[in-house]
Amino acid sequence: MRKDKLYFLTFISISIIFLIIASLSVKYFIKVSANQLIEVQLESSKREANEISRLVSYQLTGGVDKKEIIQNIQNTIENTHHGASFICVMDWSGKEVCHPDKTKVGEKVNSNQSLLNSLNEENSSDKLYDLLMNQIEKNENNDVISEIIYLSPVEDSDLIVAAHANLDKISAQTRQLKTSFYTIFIIMGVLIILSTVFVVRILGSYYEKQLELKNTNLESELINLSKLNADLVTYQQKIVDDNTNEEQAEASSDSGKKRILTYIRNELIPIPINNIAYIYTENTITYVICFDGKRSTSNSSLDDIYTSLDSSLFFRANRQFIISISGIEKIIKYGNNQLKILVNDKDVEIIISKNKAAEFRQWLNI
């Protein structure tokens, strides 16, 4: 249940993050794409208006009758007002001379001069979307479906070729663009969220197995360490019992020395083996530490002392330390398969390498 809840919360979190990012970015993408679409249509309308203007001027210069030219233009552009943009011709008084919708011929042109001026600005290319969208909102209330976006006067005549933008068509194209973007983002979002949750679930399962394996190893090490400390207590109790039973008996021939000679300054001090907690060397000097904390020195090396001690009571932990079975307080795991021996002196930490750890365990099980 906890895993399912975690995956569910992951799914919700990714979904919320994606929705926030998508809501901010989709508007920008729509605006940029619509702006480019409108800019292409605007440039196309300008080019078409300029070409017709030059064609009319050329025909008038060639002596073609003006009425015939107007009739030919009317026949050419008739019923083209259903596209995103179209061309019409008007005179300087603002009366329609040619229009794709014949019913408009002869009527006065009703254009938004502020929109026309804005579209003709040099830096208006990045504002086309906002300009036309604002105009579409206004025209929805006024029932106007087109606006003049460019004027191209015919040289040496009173005619003007005007490029119109079909606002209803542009609005429909923009809505279609929005629908396409939202559809793409929804599909992409579903794929990203599901694939991310799937990957998180796979990675989570993998790391859960690794964690379970690690916990199993830790439990095994803890059991082994507990057993090791239990063996320590058992062995220490055995030594105490043996010492009690043999307190009045003579030491056996293989039991080693019963005391060693040490020095405190210039005073010679014999120390019973049973009083020694641990022995260590530092800066070529050998120190003998008793259970009561007293420290004395010895002229013998650590190797010489160890050979004279009872191997069942003392263990050579490393090159620096010899420890007494009775001086060990606790055994804990240290590093990679190493052991740390804690003694009465809290400032002393005796490390047994992984190579000697097995020998130490065997020593405790004697």
Query: Which one of 187, 207, 240 terminates a domain?
Result: 187
Based on the fold, state whether residues 181 and 277 are members of the same structural domain.
no
Q: Give the Cα separation of 276 and 323 in Å (integer).
A: 9
**What is the C-alpha R_g of the chain?**
50
Based on the fold, state whether residues 131 and 273 are members of the same structural domain.
no
* Residue in 237, 234, 231, 216 with CA at minimum distance from that of residue 331: 231
Task: Answer whether residue 194 is part of any domain.
Answer: no
Taking residue 305's Cβ as centre, other Cβ atoms within 10 Å add up to: 20
Concatenated DSSP letters for 101-150?
SGGGTTSBP---HHHHHHHTSTT-GGGHHHHHHHHHHHHHHHT--EEEEE
Based on the fold, state whether residues 44 and 183 are members of the same structural domain.
yes
Identify the domain containing residue 58 by its residue range.
Answer: 2-187
In degrees and rounded to multiples of 5, residue 193 shows phi and psi of -65, -45
Residue 255 confidence (pLDDT): 47
Task: Answer whether residue 21 is part of any domain.
Answer: yes
Task: Answer whether residue 309 is part of any domain.
Answer: yes
In degrees and rounded to multiples of 5, residue 235 shows phi and psi of -65, -40
What tokens does 157 get? 């005549």
Residue 248 confidence (pLDDT): 44
Q: Identify the DSSP state of 347.
A: T
Query: Which one of 167, 187, 207 terminates a domain?
Result: 187
CATH of the domain at 353: 2.40.50.40
Task: Answer whether residue 319 is part of any domain.
Answer: yes
Based on the fold, state whether residues 132 and 263 are members of the same structural domain.
no
Based on the fold, state whether residues 57 and 164 are members of the same structural domain.
yes
Per-residue pLDDT of the chain (366 residues; tens, 9 = 90+): 466 777 777 778 888 888 888 877 887 887 778 777 777 877 888 888 899 889 988 888 888 888 888 888 888 888 887 777 888 898 888 888 898 888 888 888 776 655 555 555 544 545 556 666 665 555 555 444 677 778 888 888 889 888 887 777 777 777 888 888 888 888 888 888 888 878 877 887 787 788 777 777 766 776 677 777 766 777 666 666 665 555 544 444 344 567 888 888 888 888 888 889 999 998 888 999 998 888 899 988 888 888 888 888 899 998 899 998 888 888 888 877 788 888 877 778 888 888 888 888 888 775
Based on the fold, state whether residues 173 and 293 are members of the same structural domain.
no
Based on the fold, state whether residues 48 and 168 are members of the same structural domain.
yes
Q: Identify the DSSP state of 156.
A: T
Residue 178 confidence (pLDDT): 82
pTM: 0.45
Task: Answer whether residue 267 is part of any domain.
Answer: yes
Task: Answer whether residue 325 is part of any domain.
Answer: yes
Residues 352, 318 contacting (CB under 8 angstroms): yes
Residue 157 confidence (pLDDT): 86
Place of tokens 């579209």: 119
Based on the fold, state whether residues 126 and 15 are members of the same structural domain.
yes
Residue 279 confidence (pLDDT): 92
Residues 341, 325 contacting (CB under 8 angstroms): no
Based on the fold, state whether residues 36 and 147 are members of the same structural domain.
yes
Residues 167, 136 contacting (CB under 8 angstroms): yes
Please count the structural domains in the chain.
2
Q: Give the Cα separation of 228 and 215 in Å (integer).
A: 19
Based on the fold, state whether residues 168 and 314 are members of the same structural domain.
no
Query: Which one of 136, 165, 187 terminates a domain?
Result: 187
Residue 252 confidence (pLDDT): 40
Based on the fold, state whether residues 32 and 164 are members of the same structural domain.
yes
Residue 183 confidence (pLDDT): 87
Task: Answer whether residue 24 is part of any domain.
Answer: yes
Residue 243 confidence (pLDDT): 59
Which amino acid type is present at position 253?
S
Task: For residue 53, give every residue at least 6 positions away whose Cβ sits within 8 Å of its Cβ, in sequence order, or none.
Answer: 152, 153, 154, 155, 161
Largest Cα span, the chain: 148
Based on the fold, state whether residues 306 and 164 are members of the same structural domain.
no
* Residue in 344, 336, 257, 332 with CA at minimum distance from that of residue 292: 344
Task: Answer whether residue 174 is part of any domain.
Answer: yes
